[in-house]
Amino acid sequence: MAILNFQPHYLWQEVVTEGHVDRETGDWIDGESEWQKYLKCDITPAMDENRLVLIPDGSVVEYDYVVHLPQTCRKFEVGERVKLTMFDNDEERIYTVTGFHRYQLKCKMWIKGI
């Protein structure tokens, strides 16, 4: 029996810690970045002939996927890196956010592969 899943993908966010000087030794400690699973989402691929979108700030951007998120998600900044796990596979790809808009009932994020 097949069950339809309206949010079959996972969105990961990159958490970056800044570098700092160790107070005891005075040595520089490099910052680190790690990926944290953020939430389930749904994605829509861009069609070949329509890979451009006019985003709310008035600019036109190229994208590979539209990510549909719940209205309660955090605001993603243009240029931020995110990672997607599609259909619970182990394959993960990293993308750059090219646009984000919050609607009344959901949010849309346009992403482009790195």
| Structure tokens that stand for 36 in this block | 């944290």
Give the per-residue pLDDT at 2: 55
Contact 49, 62 (CB under 8 A): no
The pLDDT-based confidence of 70 (bands split at 50, 70, 90) is very high
pTM for this model (two decimals): 0.78
Alpha-carbon distance of 46 to 111, in angstroms, equals 10
Alpha-carbon distance of 22 to 85, in angstroms, equals 36
Give the contacts of 65 (CB within 8 A, at least 6 positions apart).
Answer: 43, 44, 45, 46, 84, 95, 110, 111
pLDDT of residue 90 exceeding 80, the answer is no
Give the per-residue pLDDT at 12: 92
